[in-house]
Structure 1
């Protein structure tokens, strides 16, 4: 898992964080997992994007996430920009690490 942090933009305290994560749940980003990701992302003010196969979607849009069709084992990149970016990344990483609450 690679994590990088860009410098804050001039005139603001906002930070941009990028991290590559691997989907561990058997069905990948199906409807239930996508809904859990949207619910988690919506708790934060930060702009949260997800990228897979050079396609990017807003993590607060279930349709955008579903359109990515990311399967089990896919490497996705989470890109977060905002004042609560670090906490958003922790929560999203925890969700993915715990397979969206699905059994192994």
Structure 2
């Protein structure tokens, strides 16, 4: 299992469009992936779970991946978040 803490750099946090992009990216991975904010942890492949975290701009989350390809999966998600989740 690998994990990494990241800060959302996009201006609107994980609202619908960025959350969907994150879930799509997570869903392409074969390993299990979770996102934790505070004491709540959700499946990163669930749009309802991700949206329920209500992650705002500048907030910090922890990504965890476990299974085959976990390091590559974590790297892909961290890069997506650090690039602004598709926002210009």
Q: TM-score, normalised by structure 1?
A: 0.83
Q: TM-score, normalised by structure 2?
A: 0.97
Count of residues in Structure 1 that have an aligned counterpart in Structure 2:
88
| 1:91, distance to aligned residue in structure 2 (A) | 0.6
Which aligned pairs between 1:67-78 and structure 2 lie closer than 5 A? 67-78=52-63
The one of the two structures with greater contact order (alpha-carbon pairs below 8 A, sep at least 6) is 2
- 1:62 corresponds to which residue? 47
Structure 1: which 4+ aligned runs deviate by more than 3 Å? none
**Structure 1 unpaired stretches of 5+:** 1-15
Q: Give the aligned CA root-mean-square deviation in angstroms.
A: 0.6
For 1:57-90, what per-residue CA distance to the aligned partner results, in whole angstroms no more than 9, with x for missing partners? 1000000000000100111000100111011011
Task: Give the secondary-structure state (helix, strand or coil) at the position aligned to 2:62.
Answer: strand
- 1:91 corresponds to which residue? 76
Larger radius of gyration: 1
- 1:13 corresponds to which residue? none
**Structure 2 unpaired stretches of 5+:** none
